[in-house]
Amino acid sequence: MDDSSSNLHPARPVLEAPDIKRVLTRIAHEIVERAKGADDVVLLGIPTRGVFLARRLAAKLEEITGSAIPVGSLDITMYRDDLRLGPARALAHTEIPAEGVDGRLVVLVDDVLYSGRTIRAALDALGDIGRPRAVQLAVLVDRGHRELPIRADYVGKNLPTSQRETVKVQLTEEDGHDGVLLGTRAPASEHAESGARPRRGTAPAG
């Protein structure tokens, strides 16, 4: 809570475009370091923004290693544990690279790590596609408040937040510009939400 007028423009930037660029470069190097090269790495982004981050990471990895890195997307909608708490959602694309995932090192890529439920769903979805050698997780922002025993292997920025705050990642491909905004949830929507589903005290996903 900064001040009383924060309802109008409550969001303040915590990462700007150059920061995001540097962070992704660092994560790409970390992946190469941990995997001793990136020969068997497959990047799978979680829609919507995880996919764009995965593509950017793949481009960086190609710069570093000199060889193309398979990149795809993994939609987790059908595997969510909160499907029955709202209307059925529209599905996003799942595109597994032609190389497949069997025996490879899959790096899941998402924008924000929050409750951990999205990643749990992603692991379930991945299990129906194949059997990777190992699965790792790269996120741009880790905002805490895990509800499952899940952690990220590569973190762009650790961002301590309260549950009343919102973290909004904006990427050029989807939003026209790069940035990460930290804001406060509008009280109105909080009311409506708790009114509609009183049981639901947790983060919906993340």
Write out the residues near other proteins by the rule CB under 8 A: 46, 75, 78-79, 83-94, 110-112, 114, 118, 124, 128-130, 143, 166-168, 189, 192-193, 195-197, 203-206
Closest CB to other proteins among residues 61, 182: 182
Closest CB to other proteins among residues 38, 80: 80
Closest C-alpha to 107, from 98, 117, 97: 97
Shortest Cβ 82–other proteins spacing (Å): 9
Closest CB to other proteins among residues 79, 154: 79
Closest CB to other proteins among residues 67, 172: 172
Shortest Cβ 80–other proteins spacing (Å): 9
* CA 175 to chain CA mean position, Å: 16
CA–CA distance, 68 with 46 (Å, rounded to integer): 20
Type of residue found at 145: H
Shortest Cβ 203–other proteins spacing (Å): 7
Task: Determine how many CB atoms are found less than 10 A away from the CB of residue 32.
Answer: 16
Q: Are 156 and 23 in contact (CB under 8 A)?
A: yes
Shortest Cβ 63–other proteins spacing (Å): 28
Closest CB to other proteins among residues 45, 70: 45
Closest C-alpha to 203, from 80, 142, 115: 115
Shortest Cβ 60–other proteins spacing (Å): 23
Closest C-alpha to 15, from 116, 136, 139: 139
